[in-house]
């Protein structure tokens, strides 16, 4: 089976994908029944249903998993999910059982918040969207004022050292920065790397974990500078003040050489 034949990126063409799966011979799929994948932008999520940015609602027969939510913790309210929208969702389509009489439908889906309906970078929260907006502002400013090429990365995998085979290695938490920002001058000077972290909670246990993981991230990136976008500290000031300080700290970290 070649994925492009059974991949759809528009809910408007979901019917075509369903027909293609239904007409596919079992021999085209190895050790599995005919199936396909839908990737779609989602504006809202309900109980067992995805509501795309455009088009009709998409029922999900089986598990509908949402990043950072547990199905049984009672916190996945419609209001809470609306604050995290939009999402990018990956859906698996097929028949629930091998019988030819079974309809082809969405069997399961996974949804992850993304930056916006037009910017599909995956983010962890709405606070990260605010951080990303600041990063893009600094990116534009340094490009136009300083001639720096600034690249914003959103790591999805562990950047830490591979401990496989290390005798008696001490287990460590995963090293996944919220963002990594790289700046290179027009003459191709080596890029300066900055780790950017969104501090979304105020409790000390959370901040202690962050201090530990940030130290590991710095070590993995040869002592890269860390700049924090804090939504709680210092206390007693407007968030606009904290955002401006973050903007200035990031600009300085990317231009000091």
Query: How many whole angstroms separate alpha carbon 23 and alpha carbon 36?
Result: 12
Q: pLDDT per residue over 205-230, tens digit each?
A: 999 999 999 999 999 999 999 999 99
Report the chain's mean pLDDT, rounded to a whole number. 90
Q: What was the pLDDT predicted at 119?
A: 96
- Tell me the pLDDT band of 164, cut-offs 50, 70 and 90: low
Does pLDDT of 249 surpass 60? yes
Strands of the sheet containing 179-184, edge to edge, are: 149-153, 179-184, 192-199, 225-230
Does pLDDT of 76 surpass 60? no
DSSP string, 173-195: -----SEEEEEE-TT-PPPEEEE
Does pLDDT of 41 surpass 60? yes
Phi, psi of 57 (to 5 degrees): -60, 150
Q: Which residues of 68-95 are buried (b: 16+ CB within 10 A; e: fewer)?
A: ebeeeeeebeeeebeebbbbbbebbbbb
Q: What was the pLDDT predicted at 3?
A: 82
The domain ranges of the chain are 3-113, 126-255
197 neighbors 135 (Cβ within 8 angstroms): no
- Tell me the pLDDT band of 167, cut-offs 50, 70 and 90: low
Q: Which residues pair with 193 in a beta bridge?
A: 182
58 neighbors 52 (Cβ within 8 angstroms): yes
Its pTM stands at 0.86
- Tell me the pLDDT band of 160, cut-offs 50, 70 and 90: confident
Mean pLDDT value of segment 53-59: 95
Query: How many whole angstroms separate alpha carbon 8 and alpha carbon 37?
Result: 6
Q: What was the pLDDT predicted at 71?
A: 63
Residue with more model confidence, 257 or 189: 189
Query: How many whole angstroms separate alpha carbon 177 and alpha carbon 144?
Result: 27
Residue with more model confidence, 160 or 51: 51
């Amino acid at each position: 089976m070649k994925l492009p034949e059974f991949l759809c990126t528009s809910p408007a063409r979901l019917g075509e994908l369903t027909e293609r799966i239904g007409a596919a011979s079992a021999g085209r799929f190895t050790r599995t029944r005919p199936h396909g994948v839908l990737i779609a932008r989602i504006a809202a999520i309900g109980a067992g249903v995805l509501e795309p940015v455009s088009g009709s609602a998409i029922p999900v027969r089986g598990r509908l998993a949402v990043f950072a939510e547990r199905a049984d913790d009672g916190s996945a309210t419609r209001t809470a999910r609306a604050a995290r929208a939009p999402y990018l969702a990956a859906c698996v389509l097929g028949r629930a059982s091998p019988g030819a009489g079974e309809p082809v439908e969405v069997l399961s889906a996974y949804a992850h918040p993304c930056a916006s309906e037009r910017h599909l970078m995956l983010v962890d929260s709405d606070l990260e969207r605010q951080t990303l907006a600041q990063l893009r502002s600094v990116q534009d400013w340094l490009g136009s004022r300083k001639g720096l090429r600034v690249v914003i990365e959103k790591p999805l995998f562990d950047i830490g050292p591979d401990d496989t085979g290390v005798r008696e290695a001490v287990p460590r938490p995963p090293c996944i920065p919220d963002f990594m920002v790289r700046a290179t001058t027009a003459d191709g000077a080596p890029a300066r790397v900055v780790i950017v972290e969104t501090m979304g909670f105020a409790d000390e246990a959370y901040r202690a974990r962050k201090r530990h993981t940030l130290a590991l991230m710095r070590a993995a990136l040869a002592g890269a500078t860390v700049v924090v976008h804090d939504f709680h500290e210092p206390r007693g000031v407007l968030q606009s003040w904290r955002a401006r300080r973050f903007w200035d700290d990031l600009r300085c970290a990317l231009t000091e050489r």
